[in-house]
Each structure stands twice: as C-alpha cells, then as structure tokens.
Chain A
Amino acid sequence: MRYIFKFPDIGEGLDEGIIAEWYVDKGQAVVMGQPLVKMETDKVVTDIPSPKTGRIAALYGRVGETIHVGSPLVEYDIEGIEGAAAILEASKPAFEGIKEEGAGVVGTLEVADDSAYLPATHEAEPVQTKSTLHGPRQRALATPVARAMARELGVAIDQVTGTGPAGRVTKADIETYFSRSLKTDPRDAVRVTRDIEDLSGRGSPVTGQDLPVEVKPLSQIRKAIARNMIQSKHNAAHMTVFDEVEVSELVRIRTKYKETFALEGIKLSYLPFIMKAVSLALRQHPVLNSEMDMENSRLIYKKYYNIGLAVDTEEGLVVPVVRNVDRLTIRDIASAVNLFADKARKREITLEDMKNGTFTITNFGSIGGQFAVPVINYPQAGILGIGRMVEKPVVKQGQVVPGIMFPLSLSVDHRIVDGGEVTRFLNRIMEYLGDPVSLIIG
C-alpha cells in the first residue's frame, strides 16, 4: 500500500516549518521512529520521526522549502498490506506506537530562531527579516524547470526578470541571474545582511565554475551568525588591546580547590575567575557595560552584569548568558558554566538562555591560540578574548623566574569608549587575576 505522511502539528502554535535536512532518500527502507527529516521552525529545530515502517516512495519538498502543517511530507510504500487492510492502516493515527514508547513527537530541540545568536538586549534584537522567508510571496510566472532550478540554486524567483512569453521566467533566466549574481562586487556582501535569501545560496565566485565544490544551504544559526557578525563589524568601531597577566597565584588557588569542587560534581576551570574579575571591573568602569543609542544620542548604562560565554558547538557559536555575575560566588559561576556546557553539548540552549548579556567572554584558548581580535557581540561595548595559558620566564624583583602567563585580547567599540579607559579597565581585570584574593575582598 501507499501511505502519505503529513507534516504533523508539533505544538508551539506553529503552522509551518522549513526542511533543514532529509535523513532519508527515496527508495530507502525506514522503521517506525527513525528520524525522517530535520525541520526548522520559527522557534525550534526538530527531527520528525517516521510513523511507519516501510519504504520511502516519495519525498515532498526539498531542503529549504516551507511545509505547512497537514501538507504531505513523505510517501511510503508499505509491502504486504493491500486492500481493506491498507484502508485500515491508512486511517490509523500517525504517531500511534511512538507515543506508547514515550518518545514523543518532538525529539531533540535546538533553538534556531533567526535572532537566536547573541541577542544582547531587548533593544538590540535585530529588525526581523523573516518576512522575506515566511511571509506571503507573490507567485512569479515561471516554467516548472525554472522553479526547480531556482530552488536548487537558492535563487529568489520573484527577483528574476522573465524573458519568456508573458514575462515568464525560464530556465535560461535563472541561469543568467545566477551567473550574474556570482559576478557581483564582493563589497555587495554587506547588502546580504538585509536579505536572508541572499545569504542562502550565492555570492561565492567558485560555484558555477567547473571546480569540485559542494554547495550546502545555510542553517538558520549560520545565517544568524553571519548577519550578526556583519552587523557588528558594520556598526561598531572595533579597537583591540592585547596584554598578558602573570597568574601563578590563580593557578595555585584553582588547583587547590579543583579537587574539592570535583567532589561536588563541579568542574572548576579558570573561566569563573575571569568572569568574576570582568564583572567587578565592569562595575568600576561602567562605560564598558553600556550600549550606544545613536538614534536618541544617548548612552545606556546597564546596572546589571550579565556575562555571555561564546560556546563553540558543531552547529556554530552560541552565547549563553550567566546573570548577575558580580553577585555570584566562584562556586555559583562554575555551576552555571558547567550547566551551559552540558546544555550546549545536548543542543538544549534556549533563546531565554541567550538573552540580555551585557559583556561577552570568548575563551578560544581552551582550543589553542594566544591572541585574537574578537568581534564585539553588538551592541555590547566590549568582548574579552582569553588565549592559551603559557609558561614564560618573567622578571620578579630583579630575578628571572618561571611565570604562568594568560594572554588577553580585549575588543571594544571605540564609539563608546576611548583607549585610556579601555586600558584602565584591562589593567583592573589583570590586577584581579594576578591577585585572586582581591576578587573576594572586592
């Protein structure tokens, strides 16, 4: 028999989703519960499990296509069930069986809203470009092949001028549009920030040439990162200061408490100390915890110290935020960091987790590298990059002794703050890290 599986209502009041990835191919045998497709919705990314065991006869929709709840997703060819049995089978609810196993319809959840990446404050949430993707679109007059090709190449067909009869968009029009788009000035890349469609397929001069490349559509999270990065580089006046701090004392203290914390199941890294140091330094240098509101010619000083942590995941960067760090103990901060690390690994970071950061720390040193020029998590005023800790000879009281150095890279928005204040701020952080006891004394 044939069975058509329709995109189920996955809750959250969503009525459509975008196909992010097919896990199955036409002709493939699948078993009940096996993930069929990854769907991205406004709020989540979710795997849709197979409601039946059988062979896939057809996939309705390609990657990037919007599917409405109730629209066909997959057609099955189920062997051995014919006639009356087939009718009975088809009338069964799709998720019978799966619910019994307690698996639920929605498997893993991953936040992938367009604004998922780095929303520092409410004010700063980017002006949405969603309507380009989700809103009602006027259906362009186009040939079937032109439509299929446009989908394939990620070309927005309603942007293409048709040369066919009655202005119909033909295959040749798509080809011309696509090859022309490859030739556009790279500086035009800035423009793509305003057009999510443009981010999804073209722009690379290598595609279209006869070179061995693989073209993949961007994930929602990648698009969000791209847009936010360009927004930051475009709007903020980046300036970076580098320095090193000797942290033998910090190393001693951390080593001392590491074991104790471990007994409580808390992994103690250097990050909580750095976060604490930054939050305290921010209180003394409030301009680094502010945000510029150019439109209204004012600076907004934030009286809360929420430190975002840039976390590297397979899908891309996410930045969960630890709140009121200035008021937390090292133990509290360590617990929060542990929790987020765990959530990130399970892809469970939520939009809520990433909201309202005031300053960001990026710890690339845990992977390697000493100095970098971090990109500000716009519209925050600064971001501190932590490099890899290294042993180096240092001079103390006229003697060359072994020291442990922490490389620091601080990027700030020069619109907001000038070099002097930045250096004072960095010095303050270094003082805290060089003498960790002062973190408690304040």
Chain B
Amino acid sequence: MVYDLIIIGAGPAGYVAAIRAGQLGMKTALLEKKDIGGMCLNWGCIPTKAFLESAKFFARLKTAENLGIDGIDLNKVSFNWTSAKKRSSGIVRKLTAGINFLLKKNGVEVITGEARITSANTISIANRLLETRKILIATGSYPPPLGSDIPAGKLVQVHDLLQMDELPKRIVLVGHGPVSLEIAQFFQLIDHDITVISPAENLLPGVDDYLRQYILKKARGQGIRILENARIKGATDEILQVDNLEIPYDLVINCSWRNGIVPPSDVDLEADANGFIPVDDMMQTRVPGIYAAGDVNGLSYLAHMASAQGVFVVNHIQGVEGSMDLKQCPINIYTVPEVAQIGFTEAEIREKGIEYRIGEFPMSANGKALAEDTAEGMIRILSGKKLGEVLGVQIIAANATDLIAEAAAFMSVEATVYDVARTVHAHPTVAEVFLEAGMDAADKPIHK
C-alpha cells in the first residue's frame, strides 16, 4: 500500500494539511511522536491565552470601581494557578478531541512514534516501513538550550510552565520574540516580579518600530523590567548576573528564539545551522517530493502561517496553483493592550521607496472603547500615496488581535483606503476605528 501523503508532525501545519489532504481524497498518514495539536494547542497558543485571560481578569478586578462596582476586597482576591491551569487543560482537551474527530472523519491515519525518512518515498516508524508519493515535514521548532550555568531546577522551558504546581515570585525570561513579552505580561498581571532579558539588540524583531516603542514603554511602565542586548554572565541559587547587574531570581524561563526540528533522515535535507530546512516558493525542499511547512522551514513562527502553508502544500501537490504571500500574515502580541500588525512596516515601506501616507485614529475617540474602559491605543493604516493601496495596518487596542482580521480581509482583496473609508461599520463598535482611519488616509475623518 502506498500513501499519497505522509505528514510528519501533528501541529498546526501538519494536522491542518492532513485534514485538507483527507478532504481531497488523498490517502494520508499523520505521524506524531507526542501530542496531536503540537506546540500551539498543547503548550503554546491556546493554553497561554487561557491562563493569560485568567490573569487579565484578575488584574481587571482592581479597576472594578471605575465601572461602578463596589465591594471587591482586593486583599481577599488572589490568583489560583492550579485552577487557572485546570481551566486551560480543559480547553485543550476539548480542542484536541475535536481535531482527532476531524482527522478520523477525513480518513487520516494517525500513527504515534518517531519517524525516520529513509528515502524520498519511504518512512520508517514504529517498526513499519511506509511507502508514500509525497512527504510533508511539519516537525516544528524548539527553543535551543541556554548556554549558561543556571542551577538545576532553576531553569525551565516555556512548555514546562504548565507542569509546575506553583509559580515562583521572581521570574526571569530569556528571549526576544512576542512570546517572551506575553509570558512576562502574564506574570506582571498576577503581580510577580518579572525581568525580560533579550540577547538581541531589539525585542520584537519584525514588528513596526512605532508599535514596538509603544508597547515596550507601556510594559516598562507596568513594571516589567526589560534588558535589551543583555547576557547572563553567571548564576547562583539566588542571584543572576546579567552583564553588570545582579538580579535576585527564583526561576529562569527559556523563551529563546526557536530552532527548527529536523527529523531523522537518510536523505540530506540540507538544513542550516539553526535546523531550518530550506524550501522553494512551493514549500518544496531540495529533495523533490519532500515538502516542509510551518516553523521547520524558518519562514515564520506563527501557527496561522503554519496552517496556511500546510494547506498550500496539499493544494500544490494536487495541482492547484498559487503563491504564498508571507506579508499577508497578521502578527499578534497578546499583551495589555494587545498589539497587532499586518503587511509592511513603516520602515519597510520607506526602504522600498514607496510614497505613503498614514491614516490614524485613537481609541480614545471611539465610543465603544470608552464604554468598555479600554480606550488605550490607536490604529494606523499605511497606504501608498499613488493608488491608495493599503500596505500595512497596525493596531494597539484591548482586542487588537481580533480587529486585525478586518485588515487581513481587505488586504487579501487588495483594497484601497477608499474602500476602507466607504465600508459601513456598525455603531458602536471598536472596529469603527477602521472607517475613521480609512477616511483619514483618503480624505478627512468625521470624528477627529
């Protein structure tokens, strides 16, 4: 028996590709050594958002009086990590069950074990040798170990957090991606002492400078200590030596920039030093018939891009032509307030020499945001001067990560600011800021 497609890794790239392949009638096997859903579902996107929501609610109780609610004794309010974790696991169970159902429904064979690519058409797993026409590597990524001598038991990986019974008080995070800031935000919201050490010069690479400055200033104001371009020089049980600073700590969490996970293989996938497997525009590796999608190809670290790539590969195998635009991908940061962007950053637009204009609108002039007591932030629409083409959208708002979907939709149909300005938005909604910013770019806003 020959499979049409064997997918290694059941994360957002792999399982989505498997369902799509099943839907298209391909004989598909999905190989996973641990948990269906991968990092995203089991330790990343979903669980972290679940306990971040608990933390946000906890922090928001402190502002209850603003909304006219008396009688909350903040001395009696406390954050229960065990319960928050339990809630999170419940959500994950529900979602995993859903995926398993969908895989089954679409005839995808799930095989547990560690796979080895033995040729472009064969894979060995659990003492079986599987034959296949195409292979999709969707093995994801992992944070490389920190090269510092941090005492045993004092260093965990981000996915270990969910295994911890108690959260220590003084936390040091090492990393420079959005996840670092999100985890830091979580600890800040539940009143833990938090330091972020970024080995890179800038936290949040790829994020528009305006957004970056805004959110870092905000985070620092909230009490998150951020050290950029910093190195851990040494550590005792109590003190972490960071460059010239001595930081008292209880736990270090490794949120480092991730490396690709190359599956064991007898064919040379030509992975680079960081474990990323190079692919062409069709996500095909240097070995014909073997594709790589998601984190492992190094094109993106985002679950939604991994899923999009997974579907793209299956479509390509089935002869559906198309192309992947990596810039049409929203980047969300789940801080308070949230940050989201899509398209080109201002710096990128300038670098391209495109004449542009910025349409802006503050949340503080939006009725619904004011009513919800979340009127912090703003929206920026960057558009080409000549055609009015929307080139990039940046949002800082309580629910920016949902709002960005509108930008993704109109950018996917190559809308201009005139289209945005013409689109009737329901009132009152936070999304009305699009209308206003669109008008600001096209002509002049009504409410500014």
Chain A residues within CB distance 8 Å of chain B: 57-58, 143-146, 148-149, 152, 163, 168, 170-171
Contacts and interface: CB of A to CB of B under 8 A. Distances in A.
A57 B443 contact: yes
A58 B414 contact: no
Nearest to A171: B414
A149 B443 contact: no
B99 interface: no
B414 A146 contact: yes
Contacts of A152: 386-387
A441 B321 CA distance: 82
B418 interface: yes
A148 B443 contact: no
B443 A144 contact: no
A293 to B, nearest CB: 49
Nearest to A172: B323
Contacts of B416: 144-145, 148
B215 to A, nearest CB: 30
Contact of A144 (B321, B386, B414, B444): B414
A251 B444 CA distance: 69
A58 B389 CA distance: 17
A169 B413 CA distance: 10
A148 B419 CA distance: 12
Contacts of B413: 143-144, 168
Contacts of A58: 443
The residue among B413, B416, B418, B444 with the most chain A CB atoms within 10 A of its own CB is: B413
B415 interface: yes
B386 A143 contact: no
11 contacts: A144-B418, A145-B387, A145-B415, A148-B386, A148-B388, A148-B389, A148-B416, A149-B387, A152-B386, A168-B413, A171-B414
A143 B389 CA distance: 10
B22 to A, nearest CB: 23
B444 A170 contact: no
Interface residues of B, number: 13
Contacts of B414: 143-146, 170-171
A143 B410 CA distance: 10
A412 B323 CA distance: 58
Contacts of A144: 413-416, 418-419
A58 B417 CA distance: 14
A6 B321 CA distance: 46
Contacts, number: 31
The residue among A145, A148, A149 with the most chain B CB atoms within 10 A of its own CB is: A145
Nearest to A77: B444
B389 A145 contact: yes
A163 B414 CA distance: 13
Nearest to A146: B414
A347 B444 CA distance: 40
A347 B347 CA distance: 50
The 6 tightest CB contacts between A and B, nearest first, are A143-B414, A145-B414, A148-B387, A145-B389, A144-B416, A144-B419
A24 to B, nearest CB: 16
A152 to B, nearest CB: 7
A148 B383 CA distance: 13
Contacts of B415: 143-145
Nearest to B442: A58
Given A149-B387, A171-B389, 4 more contacts: A144-B413, A144-B419, A145-B415, A163-B321
Nearest to B418: A144
Contacts of A171: 389, 414
The residue among B387, B415, B443 with the most chain A CB atoms within 10 A of its own CB is: B387
A171 B389 CA distance: 10
Contacts of B418: 144
A148 B414 CA distance: 10
Nearest to B419: A144
Contacts of B419: 144
A163 B320 CA distance: 12
A165 to B, nearest CB: 9
The residue among B386, B388, B414, B443 with the most chain A CB atoms within 10 A of its own CB is: B414
A163 B323 CA distance: 11
A133 B129 CA distance: 66
A15 B32 CA distance: 69
Contacts of A149: 387
Contacts of B388: 148
Nearest to A143: B414
B203 to A, nearest CB: 33
A146 B389 CA distance: 9
Contacts of B321: 163
Contacts of B389: 145, 148, 171
Interface string B402-421: 00000000000111101100
The residue among A143, A146, A149 with the most chain B CB atoms within 10 A of its own CB is: A143
Interface in B396-445: 413-416, 418-419, 443-444
A57 B443 CA distance: 7
Nearest to A58: B443
A146 B387 CA distance: 9
A171 B414 CA distance: 8
Nearest to A57: B443
A146 B388 CA distance: 11
Contacts of A170: 414
Nearest to B422: A144
A211 to B, nearest CB: 15
A12 B6 CA distance: 72
A147 B321 CA distance: 23
A115 B386 CA distance: 33
A152 B444 CA distance: 24
Contact of B444 (A57, A143, A148): A57
The residue among A57, A144, A152, A168 with the most chain B CB atoms within 10 A of its own CB is: A144
A410 to B, nearest CB: 50
Nearest to A149: B387
Interface string B223-257: 00000000000000000000000000000000000
A163 B321 CA distance: 9
A411 to B, nearest CB: 45
A57 B321 CA distance: 44
Nearest to B410: A144
Contacts of A143: 413-415
Nearest to B321: A163
A143 B387 CA distance: 12
Contacts of B443: 57-58
A42 B419 CA distance: 31
A57 B387 CA distance: 17
A425 B436 CA distance: 75
Contacts of A146: 414
Contacts of A57: 443-444
Contacts of A148: 386-389, 416
A284 to B, nearest CB: 61
Interface in B37-69: none
A58 B439 CA distance: 12
A168 B418 CA distance: 19
A58 B415 CA distance: 19
A146 B413 CA distance: 10
B441 to A, nearest CB: 13
Interface in B367-390: 386-389
A148 B321 CA distance: 26
Contacts of B386: 148, 152
Nearest to B387: A148
A163 B415 CA distance: 17
B282 to A, nearest CB: 16
